[in-house]
Structure 1
Amino acid sequence: MTRNILSDSVTQTGSDEGNGRFATLTFEREAAAPVDTLWEVWTAPAARAVWAAPSDKVTVEFLEADLRAGGREVSLCREEGQPDIRCECGWLALQPSQRSVNYEMISSEGEMLSAALVTADFSGANDRSRLVVTVQLSSMERDMEAGYRDGFGAGLDSLSGAAERTMILQRVIKAPRSIVWGAWMNNETLPQWWGPDGFSCRTTRIDLREGGEWVFDMIGPDGTVFANHHLYSEVRPEERLGYSLHWGENGPKHADAWASFEVQGGYTKVTLGMVFSTAAEFQQAKGFGAVELGLQTLGKLERFVQDQ
């Protein structure tokens, strides 16, 4: 895996007098991944939960995530023995694979610590991409600049790594979004079409809701059984769902995944994303044809909804 830190810089734009401090921070990262993949990892809530923590001692819990211009995202950063840090992000502009603009307000125990305007610019060609993030920071605490520089920088390092082990599959399905969503989030219909051509599902338990699960076996054309366990962490009707993939019931996690559903000219654009837990698992999945098999699965979904 290749990950490049091009530069991190800080420009002072104010003074240290009183309790205020102003600075502009610039972060640049490169990733060995297509720019569309980097964009998905930057914006998809399931992917953001993978890379957003500033250190391995911190866990991030998303309380709210509305991914659209005018939408809001609220998360908590938790570290043992420390007060929770609340981050509110408001999306001001979203130009897919080009630019995002958001405000960000950081608080703890009811006290506002900082406010910032965050602009992210994306560029790239083929399997290389670049991200430039500019943070215009207004701190209410003297140490917020250093915390932002270190925490944001570490998060962007994780972002680059996550992008390099992320698989994105997309298909425009010729059916209304409500029909496509209904075929996916239905305990009876999902097992009927899920899986590549020639595969079938044998379900042990299925409960398609936030906090629910699907325990099932994928059975290949030659009879080979592949045990699966999906755990659903987010369900936003007709917009997206987030879940984790495990090797068998309560087995080790091998990916964090999401599916989003976008209206496109009366049809539905489905994006299926997976951030694999390790680079080795990502390469292994690519090696056995996960991209092609995943696209076959989306093709089966389209045929299923058109036959209904």
Structure 2
Amino acid sequence: MTQSKTLETPTLPSEDRSGRFATLTFERVVSAPVATLWQAWTAPAARAVWAASMPSVTVEFVEADTRVGGREISLCKVAGEADTRCECGWLDLVTEVRSVNYEVVSREGATQSAALVTADFTDLGETSRVTVTVQLSSLAADMEDGHRAGFSAGLDNLAGTALRTMVLQKRIRAPRSVVWNAWMNPETLPLWWGPDGFSCRTARIDLRSRGEWVFDMIGPDGTIYPNHHRYGEILPQERFSYELLWGENGPKHADAWASFEEQDGSTLVTLGMVFSTQAEFQEARAFGAIELGHQTLGKLERFVGAL
């Protein structure tokens, strides 16, 4: 079970009682490894899953670049109200340990608040903890209450998302450009994609933003598994996101992403998936999705090594 609690730092007597300045602290303990929680917190495709604080709110990501010096711009939309714009700039990222970002919230061109957000991650083995500290400066009324409610609901969503997130990583001894080109090339991707013994039969493939790959995966025993990948944002040689559908235009199975980090001439490949439901995540695990996913990355490594 996911455990959660919210810690709120009391307002000091010298502070402005109107809520202009406040420090808010939130904590969640999540039944997922810290590596998974970190990916759920930082990967843009995962952030898009849990960003909306409630069902009546939709969040549109205009820009998302989770790197030091990068920024994220999102629009929170509520029917009948003006959009709320949130700009997040990443100041520090220590993998699975800490992230620091600024956040500026505005509406109709007027700044509502500015904040410094620090998230500290603790590895607890099979579980993990995230502690988020928000140092808030409000320029409009009720922003402290809004941040308190928004971060509390957002972290609850984050905890739930982490419980249905699968993260696979492999370090491949090849430059990032080589690994990227083997993946994002319509001629080569079908040659290695899939676990050992599987092959791909492509109907359509267009590896561009808003493109798609419609294909069948064929198992060693001849079983056919229809697949449809619909691609979202593509940042060349950095990352891309895509949706996994059960067959052409079928129901969504997962929101997925792949990222590529150069490390001393090698490439750390991260493949992440947020399954549509926790039940689907559990079914995939029982089916052997983790082992099969590692086989797929192993085939990529062998393909690259043979170039």
Give the distance between the partners of 1:85 and 1:175, measured in 2 at CA.
Answer: 43
Give the distance between the partners of 1:306 and 1:39, measured in 2 at CA.
Answer: 30
Runs of 4+ in 1 over 4 A off after TM superposition: none
Q: Which residue of 2 aligns with 1:250?
A: 249
Q: Which residue of 2 aligns with 1:191?
A: 190
Following superposition, the deviation at residue 72 of structure 1 comes to: 1.0
Following superposition, the deviation at residue 8 of structure 1 comes to: 3.3
Q: Which residue of 2 aligns with 1:124?
A: 123
Please show how residues 204-219 of structure 1 align to structure 2 within 5 Å: 204-219=203-218
Write out per-residue CA displacement over residues 124-166 of structure 1, whole angstroms, 9 at most, x where no aligned residue: 2221000100000111112111111111110100000111111
Q: Check conservation: 1:257, 1:274, Cα contact below 8 A.
A: yes
Q: Which residue of 2 aligns with 1:136?
A: 135
Q: Aligned with 2:49: secondary structure?
A: helix
Q: Check conservation: 1:102, 1:118, Cα contact below 8 A.
A: yes
Q: Check conservation: 2:234, 2:240, Cα contact below 8 A.
A: yes
Q: Which residue of 2 aligns with 1:155?
A: 154
Give the distance between the partners of 2:6 and 2:117, measured in 1 at CA.
Answer: 17
Q: Which residue of 2 aligns with 1:296?
A: 295
Q: Aligned with 1:57: secondary structure?
A: coil
- RMSD, matched Cα: 1.1
Q: Which residue of 2 aligns with 1:15?
A: 16
Percent identical across equivalent pairs? Answer: 67
Q: Check conservation: 2:6, 2:152, Cα contact below 8 A.
A: no
Counterpart amino acid of residue 16 in structure 2: S
Give the distance between the partners of 1:169 and 1:97, measured in 2 at CA.
Answer: 15
Q: Check conservation: 1:16, 1:142, Cα contact below 8 A.
A: no
Q: Which residue of 1 aligns with 2:236?
A: 237
Q: Check conservation: 1:53, 1:155, Cα contact below 8 A.
A: yes
Counterpart amino acid of residue 164 in structure 1: L
Write out per-residue CA displacement over residues 173-215 of structure 1, whole angstroms, 9 at most, x where no aligned residue: 1111001000101111111100000000011111101111111
TM norm structure 2: 0.97
Give the distance between the partners of 2:9 and 2:146, measured in 1 at CA.
Answer: 12
Q: Aligned with 2:151: secondary structure?
A: helix
Give the distance between the partners of 1:33 and 1:276, measured in 2 at CA.
Answer: 14
Counterpart amino acid of residue 75 in structure 1: S
Following superposition, the deviation at residue 7 of structure 1 comes to: 2.4
Following superposition, the deviation at residue 254 of structure 1 comes to: 1.2
Q: Aligned with 1:11: secondary structure?
A: coil
Q: Which residue of 1 aligns with 2:262?
A: 263
Q: Aligned with 2:158: secondary structure?
A: helix
